[in-house]
Amino acid sequence: MIRSLSIPERQVALALSVALALLGLAMAAAARHGAMAVHGAMAMALGLALLFALGGALYDPDAPADRARRYYDEPTRFGIVMTLCWALIGMGVGVWVAALLYWPEATPPWPATSFGRLRPVHTTSVIFGFGGNALIATSFHVLQRTSRARLADAISPWMVLIGFNLFCAWAVTGYLMGSTQSKEYAEAEWYADIWLVVIWVTYFVLYLRTLARRAEPHIYVANWYYMAFILVVAMLHIVNNIALPVSLAGAKSFTIWAGVQDAMVQWWYGHNAVAFFLTAGFLGMLYYFLPVRSGRPIWSYRLSIVSFWGIVFFYIWVGSHHLHYTALPYWVQTLGMTFSVMLLVPSWASAGNAIATLNGAWHKVRDDATLRFMFVAAVFYGLSTFEGSFLAIRPVNSLSHYTDWTVGHVHSGTLGWVAMIIFGAIYTLVPQLWGRETMAWPRAVEWHFWLAVTGTLIYVVSMWNAGITQGLMWRTYDANGALSYSFLQSVQAMAPYYLLRTIGGALFLTGAVICALNCRATMRAASEGATATDRPLAPQPAE
Amino acid sequence: MSRQSHHEVEIDPITGHETTGHDWNGIRELNTPFPRMVIWALSLAFAYSVVAWVLLPAWPLGRDYTRGLLGLDQGRMAVENYRHLEQARADWVVPFASADFASLATNPGLMARAMPAAARLFADNCAACHGVEATGGPGFPSLADGAWLWSADPAAIAETLRYGINSPHTDTRFSQMPAFGRDGLLTREQVAAVADYVLALSSGNADPDSHGAAIFAENCSACHGDAGSGGLGIGAPVLADDHWIYGGTRDDILATLGGGRQGVMPAWEGRLSPAEINMLAIYVSRLNDGGNAGDGR
Amino acid sequence: MLRLHYNLEKLSMGLVVGIIVAASIGGAVEIAPLFTIDETVAIPDDLRPQTPLELAGREIFIREGCYACHSQMVRHLADEIDRYGPYSLAAESAYDHPMLWGSKRTGPDLARLGGKYSDAWHVAHLINPRAVAPTSIMPAYPWLTARLDTDILSAELATLALLGVPYSEDMVANAGRDALAQSRPDSDGAANVTERYGETVAIRAFDGDTSRLTEMDALVAYLQSLGTLTRAAYETLGQEAAR
Ligand code: HEM
Ligand code: HEM
Ligand SMILES: [Ca+2]
Ligand SMILES: [Ca+2]
Ligand SMILES: [Cu+2]
């Protein structure tokens, strides 16, 4: 990694590491105890580790002279490794919390491992750790390839990746220590939130600067989506996380929003975390890897335009469908509902565009498990957006809200769509970036595929059953007009579904473990210093 | 962007459509015409939305919002629907608002309809303390054992439910077991003696001439009745049976005598309607009646 | 149109501006009016802010992630009114930074919990839910018997006051003392708590032990306050019926 930096760059990186260590020291010293002090110590340790690594290699041979003629893939490689690590952590915790709901006595008597603290560890690890690293890593790859240009500089990709992973690590360790803002998918405390803003601005600037070097005058669709992801996530993150810290020397803060306005801001954010983190960015991924792997042109450029702007415009309106029948005014709910229905059209247009792209490549879908991952992802994207628009209709939501149906919908989107497209991208990228023809164990990809599909189906079907049963039990009236079931009966009725969900999740996790091992074997088998064989169009201007 | 890559527009052999002529590292796009179906779907979804916007509250207007032609208000609708529910069951619920327990409990038609509802109310409100089977637990009395603190009479039970026992309600029933040990009312030795006597009482072989019996007669009978026979209607349990709230081991009894007890039963007035409370009172009064009260959810 | 887009695609800043504009409209239209339309939140006269002890409990509720399983929002639906009580009003969470409406009911809604159970029950349930509800799947929280840290409470009230929660200077200054006093009904400070926060505040030894102020005291005090900060929801139910 360090060898890819020039000596002056190593010096800059060294200075940044010192700055990070000092920041960590300042945090730890100011807070003295609690989550913020631990996080300060973590930052300091990371800064020092980077410092030693850089210091030790400062005067190693300079970066290869011809590096400007190559793509800068080291950050992508690092991002893929982090994606796999977070996949195992996040899904491992997912299976564990799923098991706890079936078997609560298994909870160890320590605060850190209780369900309520682990649940956000799961969601943050999978969405931000697994999904986020995959997005950043692939965005660097896609950006360079579709621009035919090397990343604009060598330092900021590392700042983005390392800084982002520090954010994820702060977030999940914070929850274990009980430090959380409780805002779903934005639980991390104020200083981590500010840190993420800095990282994100760096990311955005890098993106724009690299785009400016592109060889093709037109910007490819995948980049529109990645840009929407970066920009809108920044906007959502900042507004939803505005908070007043109780003291600059402590983790605790209070969101400035309160009550009904806070609920609206939270779900404006929460839904669009789904839309722009879990959808827009991954559509970018799909728009690149699907045509590349299938060797087919995108089916319709015109459809791409309409679906892109449809998604960007409509999505922002629909957050209020998380608040149907609540104290949020009815008018906002109507807007959320109607826009969710309209949103289905651009969503299906994207899914349809992806599937139609495979016309002429169906034999590849049959034979190539990697391409099949992408195909299944597109199908589940279509399914979960249809389900989402359906759930957003008020009367449907009166049944589904608060139940496991929502959880089923979530995982049809995250397992079926997000995770599948990530795996498809990983299986395409890993051999390419480590200079190999194929994955080390091609048969294992096939195994992974079937484990993932079976696991997803078991998970999603059991949660549909669970959710609908729950929703009905809560509102079923007997012939005399009295409620039929107590709440506890609905809890008891969930047991078989929670068990099934755990099994489905375990299958999915097994697939992910196989994937990680396969990737490791592929990476290890790579010859020393192997790099991707493709090259930018022309040498890049000096950095 | 100085070096423009120029590409020819080609015809894709599989679909027969033209490409756009752009090329991103080998990725091409087809210039497939915009599918009509999407326009139709979008128009349909938009039409649905317009109808919804016209009929329902929808668009904000600064300090107000459009109310919609249907004039719907979700709060009012919820309450109306709730009133409909109440009306639909009024014929069997309203009679329970009267406190004529004797005639209510002997009306099989009413009881058949009310007891399942009472069972659900019990499960959602009472089972947390008294148990799903109403058999109680440590600190919470069993309601199914026929041993009553206050009374087996539904009217008295209804009063307990309405106001609670030692609850914050102003009309609460009040009962307290003094802390003989902690407050120094009895010596250690006396407490031990009376504890042994209480243990003996429950197993039916108490010695009325023992030291413990004497202490009991002096300090305890006022509340627990002679020889712990209870029945004084002040919430003190019978001690001559083997039903316990706080446990019947010697240690449990020593703890009761040492620190006293003041169990709290919440007041349900305001949370449950008078009819629901009376329904539950009858349900509870029959719990030890060979399971006739209902299905015991 | 197509031509326009054809050119837009060549400008990265053009796309950036386009995305920002397209993605701002919806949020602005839905969020801003929530501050300007008066009926969105109607603050009732009897609404009180949480006491310092309850606030400390709320933070434990957040810390432990109880909101992951429990909603605090009775929806505007007849069956929810039937099961839980009057539907929740916006005003009831007007001082909540952040709100805890929740999004999942693995356990029951807690919006109307205050007064439903006794303190002793809550303590037993939190220490081990299966001791009182054998089929419960709620985790046990035995560590809540730890001492409550009250040092930060004054600063917290001050921060909330800045955000518009009606805490007086008096309340801010005495936050730590009030927290202790609320758990000691026989102490001198107990009357101050009533004076500052009103008659409806429960002043009890929530964990059954006046000698120590524990996290359990705080959490139970918080749970017992849910739905009791104003009577407005109950009144609305009555008024609506009268219409
Ligand atoms: C091994 C696979 C997985 C298992 C077993 C699993 C299990 C779970 C469980 C048990 C919950 C809590 C549900 C509840 O509270 O009732 C949950 C929530 C969640 N999971 Fe997963 N999960 C898995 C993978 C993923 C992945 C890959 C993602 C995202 C990329 C994801 C995203 C989420 C989200 C967003 C929630 C919160 C849902 C909500 O609040 O409604 N999960 N998961
Ligand atoms: C047209 C697209 C979609 C619409 C209209 C939609 C709509 C909805 C609705 C109505 C809910 C339930 C809200 C509630 O009752 O609490 C929901 C929850 C959720 N959806 Fe979707 N959905 C869509 C696509 C997706 C996709 C593709 C994913 C994942 C990749 C996803 C992830 C989630 C998550 C994580 C939640 C749970 C939020 C929470 O309560 O924590 N959705 N969505
Ligand atoms: Ca945050
Ligand atoms: Ca949720
Ligand atoms: Cu949503």
The DSSP string of C150-184 is -TTHHHHHHHHHHTT----HHHHHTHHHHHHHHT-
- So where are chain A's domains? 1-60, 72-524
Give the pLDDT confidence of A427-437 residue by residue, as tens digits.
999 999 998 98
Tell me which of A312, A334, A406, A468 to substitute to probe ligand 2's pocket, judged by most ligand atoms within 8 Å of the beta carbon.
A406
List pocket residues of ligand 2, CB cut-off 6 Å. A 184, 270, 274, 278-279, 318, 321-322, 340, 343-344, 347, 384-385, 388-389, 391-392, 397, 400-401, 406, 409-410, 413-414, 417-418; C 103
pLDDT by residue (tens digit) across B224-268? 999 888 877 889 999 998 889 999 999 999 999 999 999 999 999
Helix (H/G/I), strand (E/B), else coil: B133? coil
Among A349, A482, A534, the residue with its CB nearest the CB of B120 is: A482
B145 and B98, same structural domain? yes
A117 → closest Cβ in C39, C64, C77:
C64
CA C104 / ligand 4 centre spacing (Å): 6
Sign of CA dihedral A303, A305, A310, A311: positive
Per-residue pLDDT averaged across A404-421, rounded? 98
- pLDDT (0 to 100) of residue A539: 57
State whether the beta carbon of A410 lies less than 6 angstroms from ligand 1.
yes
pLDDT of residue B4: 45
Question: Is residue A187 within 8 Å of residue A171, measured between CB atoms?
Answer: yes
Structure tokens at A245: 């810290």
Q: Which residues pair with B61 in a beta bridge?
A: B64
pLDDT in tens, C122-153: 999 999 999 999 999 999 999 999 999 999 99
In this prediction, residue C19 carries a pLDDT of 97
Question: Are C202 and B168 an interchain contact pair (Cβ–Cβ within 8 Å)?
Answer: yes
Interface test with C, best of B39, B79, B93, B167 (most C CBs within 10 A): B79
Residue A370, φ and ψ in degrees, nearest 5:
-65, -45
Mutate-to-test residue for ligand 2 from C70, C99, C103, highest number of ligand atoms within 8 A of CB = C103
Convert the pLDDT of each residue in A166-176 to its tens digit.
999 999 999 99
Most confident option among A191-195, B33-37, B148-152: A191-195
What residue spans of A103-220 are helical by DSSP H?
115-124, 133-147, 156-176, 190-211
Question: How many CA within 13 A on the CB side of residue A413?
Answer: 26
Give one DSSP letter per residue of A399-461, joined into a string.
HHTBSHHHHHHHHIIIIIIIIHHHHHHHHHHHHHHTT-SS-S-HHHHHHHHHHHHHHHHHHHH
Query: Which of ligand 1's atoms lies nearest the C-alpha of C68?
Result: 15
User: How much distance in Å is there from the Cα of B135 to the middle of ligand 4?
Assistant: 36
Q: Which two tokens stand for residue A343?
A: 């949103």
Chain B residues lying within 8 Å of C202, measured CB to CB = 168
Is C32 within 8 Å of chain A by CB? Answer: no
Q: Are B129 and C117 in contact (CB under 8 A)?
A: yes
Give the span between the Cα atoms of A488 and A492, in whole angstroms.
Answer: 6
**Is A114 close to C66, i.e. CB distance below 8 A?**
no
- pLDDT surpasses 80 at B47: yes
**Is C241 near chain A, with CB under 8 Å?**
no
Residue of A480, A487, A535 to mutate when probing chain B, most B C-beta within 10 A: A480
Residue C6 has pLDDT above 80, yes or no: yes
Per DSSP, what are the bridge partners of residue A298? B29
Chain A hits for B283, Cβ within 8 Å: none
pLDDT of B82 > 80? The answer is yes
Touching subunits of B (3+ CB pairs, under 8 Å) are A, C
Confidence category of residue B203, pLDDT binned at 50, 70, 90: confident
CATH number for the domain that contains residue B145: 1.10.760.10
In what helix (H) or strand (E) does residue A289 lie, and over which residues does it extend?
helix A281-294
pLDDT for B26 equals 87
Higher pLDDT, B93 or A533: B93
The predicted structure's pLDDT at residue B239: 93
pLDDT at B169 over 70: yes
Q: Average the pLDDT over each of A63-77, A446-460, C110-124, C184-198 and give the range with the smallest value.
A: A63-77
As a whole number, the mean pLDDT across chain A is 95
Nearest-CA neighbor of C150 among C239, C59, C243, C49?
C59
C147 φ/ψ angles, rounded to the nearest 5 degrees: -65, 140
Nearest to A224 by CA among C5, C28, B19, C24: C5
- Counting from 1 in the atom list of ligand 1, the atom nearest the Cα of A278 is 30
pLDDT tens-digit map of B109-124? 999 999 999 999 999 9
pLDDT digits (tens, 9 = 90+) for A344-369: 999 999 999 999 999 999 999 999 99
DSSP single-letter state for residue A220: P
pLDDT of residue B297: 33
Give the residue numbers spanning the domain of B44: 36-65
Number of compact structural domains in chain B = 3
Instruction: Count B/C contacts: CB-CB distance under 8 Å.
Output: 85
Question: Which residue's alpha carbon is nearest to atom 19 within ligand 1?
Answer: A123
The structure tokens listed for C75 are 């929806």
Using a 10 angstrom Cβ sphere, with 0-12 exposed, 13-18 middle and 19 or more buried, the burial of residue C97 is buried
**In terms of CATH architecture, what is C52-242?**
Orthogonal Bundle (1.10)
For the cut 60, the answer to whether the pLDDT of residue B291 exceeds it is no
B8 within some domain: no
Structure-derived torsion over alpha carbons of residues A406, A409, A415, A416, reported in degrees to the nearest 10: 180
Which of A208-217, A526-535, B92-101 shows the lowest mean pLDDT across its residues? A526-535
Q: Which residue has the tokens 């809560």?
A: A474
For B85, nearest residue in chain C (alpha carbons):
C78
- H helix intervals, A2-132: 7-31, 35-56, 74-102, 115-124
Residue of B nearest to A223 (CA): B24
In the reported structure, the alpha carbon of residue B254 is separated from the centroid of ligand 4 by a whole-number distance in angstroms of 48
- Average pLDDT (C222-226) is 98
CA of A321 to the centre of ligand 4 (A): 13
Q: ipTM for the complex?
A: 0.95
pLDDT for A541 beyond 80? no
pLDDT band at B295, cuts 50/70/90?
very low
Given an 8 Å threshold on Cβ–Cβ distance, is C29 in contact with B266? no
The one-letter amino acid at A361: A
**H-only helix segments in B13-93:** 36-55, 74-88, 90-93
Using pLDDT thresholds of 50, 70 and 90, give the confidence band for residue B293.
Answer: very low
Cα three-residue angle A245-A248-A252, rounded to 5 degrees:
40
Q: How many CB atoms lie within 10 A of CB C186?
A: 9
Please say if the pLDDT value at position B5 is more than 70: no
CB contact under 8 A, C23 and A252: no
Q: Quick check: is B245 in a domain?
A: yes
**Interface touch C78/B263, C-beta < 8 Å:** no
User: Which residue is closest in CA terms to ligand 2's atom 33?
Assistant: A410
Size of interface A-B (CB pairs under 8 A): 160
Do residue B192 and residue B248 come from a single domain? Answer: yes
CA A296 to chain centre: 27
Q: Distance from the CA of A283 to the center of ligand 5, in angstroms?
A: 17
* pLDDT tier at A485, thresholds 50, 70, 90: very high
- Residue of chain C nearest B82, judged by CA positions: C78
The average pLDDT across B43-55 equals 98
Facing A146 at nearest CB: one of B27, B78, B88: B27
pLDDT at C40 over 50: yes
Treating both helix axes as pointing N-terminal to C-terminal, what angle do C119-127 and C215-225 enclose, rounded to 10 degrees? Answer: 120
Q: Is residue A114 within 8 Å of residue C128, measured between CB atoms?
A: no
The band of C235, judged by pLDDT with boundaries at 50, 70 and 90, is confident
> Is-contact A43 A23, C-beta < 8 A?
yes
Residue whose CA lies nearest to ligand 2 atom number 27: A413
Co-location of B153 and B111 in the same domain: yes
Within 134-193 of A, beta carbons closer than 8 Å to B belong to 145-148
Which residue from B minimizes the CA distance to A536? Answer: B25
Average pLDDT for A32-36? 94
Give the fold, CATH level 3, of A72-524.
Answer: Cytochrome C Oxidase; Chain A (1.20.210)
**A483: contact with B, CB 8 A cutoff:** yes
Same domain? For B123 and B269 the reply is: yes
- How many other C-beta atoms are found inside a 10 Å radius of the C-beta of residue C158? 17
Decide if B201 is inside a domain: yes
Question: Residue A230: is its pLDDT beyond 70?
Answer: yes
Supply B101's token pair: 């327990």
Rounded to 10 deg, the angle between the A190-211 and A133-147 helix axes is 10
Please give the pLDDT value at position C243: 35
Q: Per residue in A299-357, pLDDT tens?
A: 999 999 999 999 999 999 999 999 999 999 999 999 999 999 999 999 999 999 999 99
Q: Which of C65, C93, C104 sits opposite A259 (nearest CB)?
A: C93
pLDDT in tens, C56-81: 999 999 999 999 999 999 999 999 99
Contact C65 A401 (CB under 8 A): no
Atom of ligand 2 nearest to the CA of A278: 30
Question: Which of the two residues, B2 and C133, has the higher pLDDT score?
Answer: C133
For the whole model, what pTM was predicted?
0.95
Amino acid at A178: G
Is 90 exceeded by the pLDDT of residue C240?
no
Q: B27 pairs with which residues across the strands?
A: B24
How many angstroms is it from A112 CA to the middle of ligand 3? Answer: 19
Residue C2 has pLDDT above 90, yes or no: no
Please report, rounded to a whole number, the percentage of residues in chain A having pLDDT higher than 90.
Answer: 91
| pLDDT for B2 | 37
